[in-house]
Amino acid sequence: MHTIPAGLIAFDAAGPIPNCGRWKDTMPKTRDPAAYRLYIEARKFWRSKVEWQFTRQEISSILHDVQTASDQGDWGARALMATFYRSGLGPLESNHVLEADGDKMVAIVRTAVAAGQAWGYYDLGVAHEHGFGDAVQDARIAWAYYRKAAELGSPDAQMVLADAYLNIHRMDAEEAMRQCAFRQGHGAAAEALGIRAQGFENFAEAVSFYQAGARFGHAGAAFAISLLFDPENWYRFKKKDQDVLENLHILPDIERMNRYRQISDALELNPDLRLSRLDTVLPLPPTPLQAWRNYEDALEPEQDAPPTY
């Protein structure tokens, strides 16, 4: 058995619920605009197509710009480089530009841990869980990193802990962790909370969570709410549930269903999208639908302010 690193505590699903922070509080307060712009434009391009659709030249350009931004100190670019090293870049012989390299992935993540950043603790937990690079494969160490990451505010770590609590039927602890992630705008947490509410036939709460999840950029949440407007699915509900939905003005509505499906499809391709204007262009009933070109009407507008994490 390997030793848990100093400063970490073993995770015990039956023990006290860890406090949860905000991941942004672990990041630098300022961000170099030039490095950020180089990184974010490359990331947008990377998210614009399925990976096999890129040419070698296009993926090489993405890699060059993300690496340059990483070298200039942008932590978002460093996190993306860690992702590239974990999986490689370019799935086809015709566009393959980077081999997976667990050692380089772990080296980047360790710099984030040294800087006290929540995402680094989570990613190092993943590395220890799977044995990437020089991170010894050890579940106890992995879960100690997940616990620390959740305390620091990693939504992904909070969701991992929530699943562990669910496995032993600690529903209070599960919800607490999912709420931690939800408060940080984590779409998967919103969808999970919505599913939980719907399971308890609390449709008002479920709809609110699904709408929030779509706004946060989660494809599953957008699809889940589309089902509530899908005529074929709506008539499968029990009569008492249909009555509740009708009181909430949630009725079969092909137009609303199609709009949420468009959003879900867009988010499947690009989960970086944030639909901050969703409540304006696709409001919940009984507010009437607004004019609609496509999902881009709901996108978060570009910010002129200096970039932050």
Residue 260 scores a pLDDT above 90: yes
- The pLDDT of 111-117, averaged and rounded, is 98
CB atoms under 10 Å from CB of 1, counted, come to 6
Instruction: With a cut of 80, say whether residue 269 has pLDDT above it.
Output: yes
What is the token pair recorded at 144? 């100690």
Instruction: Give me the pLDDT at residue 46, please.
Output: 97
Residue-wise burial string across 175-191, b where 16 or more C-beta atoms lie within 10 A, e elsewhere: bbbbebbbebbbbbbbb
Mean pLDDT value of segment 247-256 = 97
For residue 228, give the 3-state DSSP assignment.
Answer: helix
Examine the pLDDT at 121 and tell me if it is beyond 90: yes
Task: Using the structure block, give the residue that is written with the tokens 């499906």.
Answer: 261
**Torsion (CA) 79, 80, 84, 86 in degrees, nearest 10:** 30
What is the predicted pLDDT for the residue at 304? 80
- What would the pLDDT profile of 271-306 be if each residue is shown by its tens digit? 999 999 999 999 999 999 988 999 999 998 888 889
* 41's tokens: 């434009």
**Domain locations in the chain?**
23-152, 185-287
Beta-carbon contacts of residue 100 (< 8 Å; ≥ 6 apart): 85, 86, 87, 88
- What's the pLDDT tens digit per position in 66-95? 999 999 999 999 999 999 999 999 999 999
User: Quick one: pLDDT at residue 9?
Assistant: 96
What pLDDT, in 10s, does the model give residues 224-251?
Answer: 999 999 999 999 999 999 999 999 999 9
DSSP characters for 136-203?
Answer: ---HHHHHHHHHHHHHHT-HHHHHHHHHHHHHTT-HHHHHHHHHHHHTTT-HHHHHHHHHHHHHTT-H
Checking if the pLDDT of 1 tops 80, the result is: no
pLDDT exceeds 90 at position 256? yes
23-152, what's its fold? 1.25.40
